Chains A and B, each alone.
Chain A
Amino acid sequence: MRTPALLLLAVVSLTAAACATPMAAPGPSIDNLQRLRKAEVLSMALSEFRLAPGLPDAMDRRVNVRGSTVTSPNGGSYALFLKETLAAELQAAGKLNATSGVVIAGQLTESEAAAGIDVGVAKLGAMFTVTRDGREVYRKALRVEETWVSSFYGAIAIPMALDRYTGLYSKLVTQLLEDPEFKAAVRP
């Protein structure tokens, strides 16, 4: 009686280890909020955010960390999660306006996370474009990468890697908002 129960527990533990965790809903940060409030920038609209052409569809939907992943709350798409992260920042600062002539679009170019025994690494990249009244005024590929001390134990290494990966979205948006060329492109 005890042996089957232990076996069942082992099987459940193994299968539970390979699972999908929902990503944290994107929220604004007080630093980006101040950054946007203080900078003289126009209100902006967001248009299409999608996976860059030629990349495998799986890149937009799954990072594989020892069989586990995180799922985007925005239709399962990481590109849309990036859009929502940017939208949350603009919204909090009162700079999001769906009818604005300043329009930001994005293409996901890189999405990766790995938890090695010693070192973990996560990468995220996107090509951002800004158009003003239909004319492209900004086009730039931005990327962020993070490494950290990982662990042999999956119970520690997997959530750590997935948390770090999720945190890259705000970092990428911060990089965009801090980019002097971007600021110049959205200036009145």
Chain B
Amino acid sequence: MFTAKLRLRALIASLCFGFALVVFGGQSAVAASYVDPALKDVPAEARVTVANPQPVQILFQFQTDGAPNERATKVLKKQVIDTVIASGLFSEVTETPAANGAVISVTLNNVVKDLKDATAQGFVTGLTFGLKGSLVTDYYTGTVEYVSGPDAEKISRSVNHAIHTTIGLKAAPEGMVKSKNIMEAVTTMARQAVSNPLNQVASDPAFGGIAPAAPALAATPAEAAPLVQTPAPEPAAAETPSSTPVQ
């Protein structure tokens, strides 16, 4: 009798384990991405316009913790250029020098906050076949810098953005909408992290744009409620105005 009970318990335990592997194990490789909702697309009514658009040379670089990341630069370059073109602020956007000497520099920097913690979480998630899921946040800083000509001062604006990713069994961050896939999350982040500081640059009096009555200000990425063991997002406000002469 006692042996039979043990056998039954062992069988149930095995079934449970097998069920967990079948049901949850399949999710171990499933990652779900959520673009932080604090920074949104620039609404049409908040877009700055210009009376007489001029040509501009564009420089773009994706960075990982400040170092150039060629792979990501290649993936996002066309989209970033398209975002600048779609702003309607320039008559022509080229990668070669513009006749008027105007240059716009766009940088997307993936800020690595705690690599060890992220890898430790990933290791545990992998080891448990996703039963102990992870939620990690990738932080990004989008910076747009502009000079209108050889003697002009630089106008610079930056915003912070974030993508939250769950791997394995992990609740979705509170109040966030799941992206279709990681690529959609990245392209959404890139569009928003470029169009917002670009619009802010254009609203600088030195740019000469025509600002709408109530310009929209970008916000700081919200903290994902169930964010575990990752540092809080940058508290910095989205707009960091500066007009910095370079020595």
Contact = CB atoms under 8 A, between A and B. Distances in A.
Interface in B66-125: 66-71, 73, 97, 101, 103, 105, 112, 115-116, 119
A163 B67 contact: yes
Most buried by B among A24, A34, A94: A34
Interface in A158-184: 159-160, 163-164, 166-167, 170, 178
B59 interface: yes
Majority SS of interface residues in chain A?
A: helix
A42 B57 CA distance: 23
Nearest to B246: A34
A166 B103 contact: no
A151 interface: yes
A34 B70 CA distance: 24
A141 B103 CA distance: 31
B64 A160 contact: yes
A152 to B, nearest CB: 7
A163 B69 contact: yes
A163 B73 CA distance: 12
B115 A149 contact: yes
Interface stretch (A4-12, A25-33, A53-61, A128-136): A25-33
B41 interface: no
Interface in A92-149: 92, 94, 148-149
A94 B97 contact: yes
Interface residues of B, number: 28
Nearest to A31: B246
Most buried by A among B64, B68, B105: B68
B70 A166 contact: yes
Interface string B18-47: 000000000000000000000000000000
A153 B115 CA distance: 11
Contacts of B69: 159, 163
Most buried by B among A31, A33, A164: A33
Closest 4 pairs between A and B when the two form their complex, measured CB to CB: A24-B70, A30-B105, A163-B67, A167-B67
Interface of B: 57, 59, 61, 64-71, 73, 97, 101, 103, 105, 112, 115-116, 119, 145, 147, 150-151, 154, 245-247
Given A34-B147, A38-B151, A94-B97, 11 more contacts: A22-B70, A23-B70, A30-B154, A31-B246, A37-B150, A92-B57, A92-B97, A151-B119, A163-B69, A164-B67, A178-B247
